[in-house]
Amino acid sequence: RLDPAVRDKVLVCDAAPYLVKEPDDWPEIAAGAPGPWLYFNGASMPVARWPNASDEGVGYGAGWFGYTNVVEKGTKEQPGAFEFPGDRAARWRISDGVWLMGYWIYDWHSETLKLGSYDAKTHVARMAGGSTYGLGKGQSWPFPIRRFYALNLLEELDAPGEWYLDRKGKRLYWYPRPAAEGRTDEIVLAQALTPFVKMTRTAFVEFENLSFEYSHGAISIAMSEAVRCAVKGCDFFNHSGGAVSA
């Protein structure tokens, strides 16, 4: 499934010994890209995607693809469908999970939606589930081309830094970026999807001069009904969400 041009450049790791639990499947609808997530020397690595971020885009600049023909708008309960220009989607193994991150109807609202099916004859791509506003041209945002990109595809792992986690086979695929000479590289698969610290009805607790690194949840320190609690001089690195909620 890998592009022949990169097969000798992609590293494959048995991830099973390093997984703290069975990796959850991504949901049918998500904000952003769910975890786990790969980091190299403190930098977030891009999950395998198409188009690549540096590729010439269609309609919206680099890194985007677009469509204009909506087959079914869809609702929160009913999947939408659109005509996928070209035949790129025919090469994807959709049964393994493919997600499309896009601005489906408004340019102020993005969602990551699971692709349910693709018909190579009609070029109709149908989502697996509903979406917040449906697909198509927004009534108050009149640009006809809707932009998106596909992610989490082993077939599209073709650029330095990109990675893919085979959840069923527990294999991690990575196309490494050039390593710096004279240094020890650090590779981290961030798997924490819940807060590092969760406090409820707590008083007089302080966190001071601590570093919180590598998680892919919504928040790092979650406080609820906290009284005179504080976070002072702490560093938060490489989190997909926020630092502190109270």
pLDDT of residue 164: 95
Lowest mean pLDDT among 12-26, 96-110, 130-144, 186-200: 130-144
Helix (H/G/I), strand (E/B), else coil: 173:
strand
Q: What is the token pair recorded at 148?
A: 């998106």
Mean pLDDT, range 42-55, rounded to an integer: 91
Over the stretch 52-89, which tens digit does the pLDDT of each residue have? Answer: 988 876 666 789 998 889 999 999 999 999 999 999 99
**206-223: burial string, b at 16+ Cβ within 10 Å, e else:** ebeeeebbbbbbbbbbbb
- Average pLDDT for residues 100-127, to the nearest whole number? 93
Taking residues 41-58, report their average pLDDT. Answer: 87
pTM of the complete model: 0.85
Q: Tell me the pLDDT tens digit for each residue of 194-213.
A: 889 999 999 999 999 999 99
Task: Of 18, 26, 39, 8, give the one whose Cα is nearest residue 150.
Answer: 26
Q: In the predicted model, is pLDDT for residue 114 greater than 70?
A: yes
H helices present in the chain, as ranges: none
User: Would you state the pLDDT for residue 58?
Assistant: 64
Q: Please give the order of strands across the beta sheet that includes 37-40.
A: 43-44, 37-40, 187-190
* Rounded CA separation 102/66 (Å): 9
Asked if 12 contacts 172 with a C-beta cutoff of 8 angstroms, the reply is yes
The band of 177, judged by pLDDT with boundaries at 50, 70 and 90, is confident
The size of the chain, in residues, is: 246
For the cut 80, the answer to whether the pLDDT of residue 144 exceeds it is no
Give whole-number Cα distances, 184 to 12, 163, 180, in Å: 20, 20, 8
State both tokens at 53.
């971020």
User: Is residue 78 a contact partner of residue 44, using CB atoms and an 8 Å limit?
Assistant: no
Side-chain half-sphere of 129: how many Cα atoms within 13 Å?
15
The answer to whether 223 and 245 have CB atoms below 8 angstroms apart is yes
pLDDT in the model for residue 62: 85
pLDDT of residue 93: 93
* pLDDT-based confidence at residue 36 (cuts at 50, 70, 90): confident
Q: Give me the pLDDT at residue 139, please.
A: 61
Most confident residue range from 30-34, 136-140, 158-162, 182-186: 158-162
| The pLDDT of residue 184 | 81
pLDDT of residue 94: 93
Strand spans (E) along 60-145? 65-67, 70-72, 81-83, 99-103, 111-119, 124-127
Average per-residue pLDDT for the chain: 89
Q: Is the pLDDT reported for residue 143 higher than 70?
A: no
The tokens for 75 are 């609702």
